[in-house]
């Protein structure tokens, strides 16, 4: 059965976004620190950087990175994650991921300014929808054809789905740094753990992986 | 050398206090959930409940509970933790801990309404001070005579010491529940990890222990 999944890197103080980007370093140093242990994994090297040299860490962080890619057959993301907040005026913008976006399945981009869909040779297809989370999810579920649907991000989109009760499984990689600013993942989610199996696993990197899996046979 | 230490139980969303107490259940169910795995340890049974039957869990959570008691020879706590916010009008109030408070050393209670000091047979002595964190710490350091000083709580007092840069070592037991309300431990502590060695260890209970130890030879 399809499960609706979220994976996020957050700081120990619960921030899922960073705010120190500059024109020279658009993602910023905080983002680099928040994602460093994920980006270092062999899975990230293979799946996102297309680096098949065997580079990258193995172990706990890599295990979770691999799970991130397993079983997902459709995805939903917000307009910002696709880059429309920055490049929405450019009709030729095709996302951040080059010619082989690391999806290989339909990706539904929720936006108030829909545009024509985009197809890539590796099976990735971006569809741009003006739709509520529930409406977008209904489409993605159908497209997933029994596989899992990932809510890819960004933080605001993830929070919309979490608060609407639409997420079955949440995995957070908690990085032991304090950012002190940004979008808080956890606001207004009191009791989210109810009815979910919770597991915690710390990696030698210092990152702790906490998973909430909905106990149901949906 | 004396180290200034803090140990706290917090929720995954960073709350160090709970707000659901009632006259019938003054600490509330959230507090019980926040402290359940600590209260279940053999160390807690022995050191706080004076239960030497061998009851209680051993393992990761108990290891941290034991460290909580090791090497501390003086403590600072806020008026609320001693109970003065509730019982400050009662001159006979002697704290929550019965005839053998689990300290055995001087405890400095910071309060705007000082009262005579209290001595117990087991070496615990409560002293009530109107003093700033730094002033209180200077006294506690001297009393500690080379042992460690613990900032015992509550959350507001701990935050005052953390933000003043007075804490060397912080250990948080992160309980994977979302409380959604209370006092946030992490506010205004951006960059606290700088200059500290950070370790993370998850227990089978689901609790993750994160420690920040100041790298210095003070």
Q: For the segment A101-123, what is each residue's pLDDT rounded down to a tens digit?
A: 999 999 999 999 999 999 999 99
A92: pLDDT strictly greater than 90: yes
Q: Cβ of B176 under 8 Å from any chain A Cβ?
A: yes
Using the Cβ of A122 and the Cβ atoms of chain B, whether some distance falls under 8 Å is answered with: no
Give residue A217's pLDDT: 56
Helix (H) or strand (E) holding A201: strand A196-202
Residues A209, A59, A102, A48, CA torsion sign: positive
User: In the predicted model, is pLDDT for residue A218 greater than 60?
Assistant: no
CB of A200 less than 8 A from some CB of B: yes
> Residue B210's closest chain A neighbor by CA?
A176
The chain-wide mean pLDDT, for chain A, equals 95
A49, A213 contact by CB (below 8 A):
no
Cis peptide preceding A154, ω within 30 of 0: yes
Q: What is the pLDDT of residues B86-95, one digit of tens each?
A: 899 999 999 9
Q: Are A183 and B185 in contact (CB under 8 A)?
A: no
Segment A129-143, tens digit of pLDDT: 999 999 999 999 999
Tokens 């000083």 appear where? Answer: B149
**What radius of gyration do chain A's Cα atoms show?**
17
State yes or no: pLDDT of A87 exceeds 90.
yes
Domains of chain A by start residue, with CATH: 4-214 (3.40.430.10)
pLDDT computed for residue B165 by the predictor: 96
Asked if B192 has any chain A CB less than 8 Å from its own CB, the reply is: yes
Q: What percent of chain B has pLDDT over 70?
A: 99
A70: three-class secondary structure by DSSP: coil
Would the pLDDT of B24 be above 90? no
Residue of B nearest to A211 (CA): B176
- Give the tens place of pLDDT for each residue, A160-200: 999 999 999 999 999 999 999 999 999 999 999 999 999 99
| CA atoms within 13 A of residue B181's CA, in its CB half-sphere | 7
Q: Are B88 and B79 in contact (CB under 8 A)?
A: yes
Residue A208 has its nearest CB partner, among B179, B181, B202, at B202
Interface test with B, best of A176, A198, A204, A205 (most B CBs within 10 A): A176
How many CB pairs below 8 Å do chains A and B form together?
79
3-state secondary structure of B83: coil
Phi–psi pair at B84, nearest 5 degrees: -70, -25
For B32-66, the pLDDT digits (tens) are: 999 999 999 999 999 999 999 999 999 999 999 99
Helix (H, G, I), strand (E, B) or coil at B104: coil
In 3-state terms chain A splits into helix, strand, coil percentages (rounded to 5) of 25, 25, 45
Residue among B181, B174, B162 nearest B203 (CA): B174
- Does the interface predicted TM-score (ipTM) exceed 0.85? yes
Tell me the sheet residues that pair with A184: A15
């Amino acid at each position: 059965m399809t499960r609706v999944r979220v994976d996020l890197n957050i700081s120990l103080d619960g921030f899922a976004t960073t705010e120190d980007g500059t024109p020279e370093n658009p993602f910023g140093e905080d983002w680099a620190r928040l994602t460093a242990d994920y980006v270092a994994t062999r899975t990230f090297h293979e799946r996102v950087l297309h680096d098949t040299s065997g580079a990258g860490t193995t172990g706990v962080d890599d295990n979770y990175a691999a799970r991130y890619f397993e079983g997902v057959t459709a995805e939903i993301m917000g307009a910002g994650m696709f880059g429309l907040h920055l490049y929405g005026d450019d009709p030729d913008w095709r996302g951040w991921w080059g010619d082989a976006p690391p999806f290989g399945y339909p990706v539904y981009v929720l936006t108030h300014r829909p545009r024509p869909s985009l197809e890539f040779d590796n099976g990735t297809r971006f569809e741009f929808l003006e739709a509520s989370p529930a409406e977008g999810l209904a489409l993605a579920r159908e497209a997933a054809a029994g596989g899992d649907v990932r809510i890819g991000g960004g933080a605001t989109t993830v929070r919309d789905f979490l608060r609407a009760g639409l997420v079955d499984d949440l995995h957070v990689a908690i990085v032991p740094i304090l950012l002190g600013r940004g979008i808080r993942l956890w606001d207004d989610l009191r009791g989210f753990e109810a009815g979910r199996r919770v597991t915690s696993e710390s990696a030698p990197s210092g990152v702790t992986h906490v998973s909430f899996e909905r106990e149901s046979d949906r």
